[in-house]
Structure 1
Amino acid sequence: MPAPSSRSDQNFTFQLPRSSLKIAGIAFGIGVLLFLAVWLNARRQNEFYRADPAQPQAETADLAPLPAPLPAGAGASDMPDARPESVEEAPQVVETAPAPPPQPIAETAPAPTIDPAVPAPVAATPTDRPVPLPGQSPPPTYPPAALRRGDSGSVVVRVEVGIDGTALDAKVVQRSGSRDLDRAALDAVRNWRFQPALSNGQPMQAGLEIPFDFKPAQ
């Protein structure tokens, strides 16, 4: 009885059908065609993005030759003198403040007059009555209230002058009808300085009546 043969001695043969070989060949050909199509497409795109060759530069226009230099001398050069151009300064706008409108001129009323009915003070001379000293006997001030009311009148003030020339006592002996005018005349005389009266060359006390006429401005 023959011994059984081992598995290694057995030969297995696998045979593909012809139709399968055809299919594999067709698939291989299709793959090659697809590869070529993709490769050609990629090449075209690379050529599209490739920079164009540099264009040849335009021929440089022929330059006209410079004129020959002229001999040195006045007016030899055709070029204008190289002088700095004068720069015109732009006019500056100076803002000036507008002139103030003219103020209306206030009409000044004429000053009231106060006429003391006594001789004008003169240089001191021997006399038997007191005399007001120049520069030290100013007229009274017209009271503003009396001036607004239009008060006017004459006032007579009697003053007693001492041996030193000062007013010892003063009083109104004739009233004007306005208390303000009477007080103004009295206050003025009390501050006056006098040359005292003289008797045998000696100063003495004496009295003097001084009238004042108050007149408001017309």
Structure 2
Amino acid sequence: MPAPRPASDRQIVLRLPRHTLKIAGIAFVAGLLLFLLVWATGRKDDFYKASPAQPAAGAQADDNIQPLPAPLPAQDGASDMPQAKPPEETPTLVETAPPAPPAPTPLPEDAVPGAPGAAPANAAAAAGGDRPVPMQGQMPPPRYPAAALRRGDAGDVVVRVDVDAAGNPGGVTLVQRSGSRDLDRAAMEAVRHWRFHPAQRNGQPIAGSLDIPFEFKPAQ
């Protein structure tokens, strides 16, 4: 009869029911699937996460950027650039009034006695003659008629004025015509506004008459 085998040489056979093996297999497969799911999810999260080295690289890039130089003053512009031209000034048309027509001037005293320009400075001393004498400052010159000025009319006019004993002008008549009716009328109208020292006889004022010449000449 053979001797019995030691216990270490014996094979221990564990026999489990079939449904227990199925449950264990299902649990193993479920655990493996759960592990794969967690691992795959972890990989996706790591894919979208920024690498910790990127901020350091960005900071290093910012350190390498040099600041821009300060802008030059306005007067130290580039010499190659053309300088801006100041705006051109547009000439302004200034309307000026047309020159006033020249006032007719009386003829010299030697041409006609008693002319306005021949009145002496001391009118009172000259008032003792036999003819009236125009008062200084009371002899407004005639106005040059605009129509005669446009036509260029010119000429000499001599008017005779009757002065009463009070020195007021009375009748005015033409002694010499200029050839222009406008000039003749202007001379006669001016003399009507004059004032005179009356003529005297024996120290008494009397009525008298005086011829007054005028020269009408347009300004050149």
TM (norm. structure 2) is 0.58
Decide which structure has the larger Cα Rg and report it.
Answer: 1
Residue from 12, 36, 39 that aligns with 2:31: 36
Structure 1 partner of 2:118: 120
161 and 217 in structure 1: CA distance in 2 versus 1, 3 angstrom threshold: same
- Offset from partner CA, 1:129-155 (integer Å, 9 cap, x none): 101111211321221211221212222
- Using the TM superposition, give the Cα deviation of residue 205 of structure 1 relative to its aligned residue in structure 2, in angstroms: 1.1
Judge conservation of contact 1:109–1:217 (CA < 8 Å) in 2.
no
Alignment of 1:59-98 (within 5 A): none
Among 199, 213, 216, the residue aligned to 2:215 = 213
In the alignment of these two chains, the number of paired residues is 161
> Residues 47 and 101 of structure 1: is their aligned pair in 2 closer, same or farther, counting only changes over 3 Å?
closer
Structure 2: gaps of 5 or more residues? 1-16, 54-71, 76-85
Between Structure 1 and Structure 2, the one with more helix by share is 2
- Give the TM-score of the pair, scaled to structure 1: 0.58
Question: Which of 82, 90, 101 does residue 91 from structure 2 map onto?
Answer: 101
State the identity as a percent.
42
Q: SS at the partner of 2:143?
A: coil
Q: Is the 8 A contact 1:112 1:217 kept in 2?
A: no
Deviations 1:62-98 (A, max 9, x none): xxxxxxxxxxxxxxxxxxxxxxxxxx9866xxxx875
User: In 2, are the aligned partners of 1:165 and 1:196 still within 8 Å (CA)?
Assistant: yes
1:160-179 Cα shifts (integer Å, max 9, x gaps) = 11222121221223322211
Q: Give the root-mean-square deviation of aligned CA atoms.
A: 3.9
Tell me if the contact between 2:131 and 2:209 (Cα under 8 Å) persists in the aligned partners.
yes
Contact 2:104 2:142 in 1 (8 A): no
How far is the alpha carbon of 1:44 from its aligned partner?
A: 2.2
User: How far off is 1:100 after superposition?
Assistant: 5.2
